Amino acid sequence: MGGANGLQETIPDANELAESIMSQCPRYSICTFSSSIAETEPEAFSLLRTRYCNGNYSACARFAVMKALGPERVPMNLHPHHHDQARALISGR
C-alpha cells in the first residue's frame, strides 16, 4: 500500500475524464435541434453538435428550456448558444 497506488485510485485517468466531460446529451433522442439548422447551416450545426450535444450539454440553451419548461416549449429556432432567449423564456418574459 504505497502513496503512488493510493493516488492512482483517486485520480481518474485521461480516458475516464474525457468520457465524463464528453458525454452525449440525455435529451438527444427527443431534441429537434437538427431539423432547425442541419440543412441550412451545416457547419454551424456540426460545431454546435460537437460543443453541446456531444460535449457540454448542461450549458445548452435548449437543454435549459427543456428542463425548466418541458420539451414542447423549446422553439425550433432556439439554438444551443442562445442563452439570452432561453433565460427570457424561462423567466416568462
Task: Please give the residue ranges that form the binding site for ligand SF4 (CB under 6 A).
Answer: 25, 27-28, 31, 33, 52-53, 57, 60, 62-63, 66, 80
Of 80 and 89, the one with the shorter C-beta distance to ligand SF4 is 80
Of 63 and 89, the one with the shorter C-beta distance to ligand SF4 is 63
Shortest Cβ 21–ligand SF4 spacing (Å)? 14
Of 15 and 35, the one with the shorter C-beta distance to ligand SF4 is 35
Contact 78, 85 (CB under 8 A): yes
Shortest Cβ 53–ligand SF4 spacing (Å)? 3
User: Exposed/middle/buried for 43, CB within 10 Å: 0-12, 13-18, 19+?
Assistant: exposed
The set of cell numbers assigned to 78 is 432556439
The set of cell numbers assigned to 71 is 420539451
Shortest Cβ 20–ligand SF4 spacing (Å)? 16
In order of 41, 83, 88, the CA distances from 93 in angstroms are 28, 14, 5
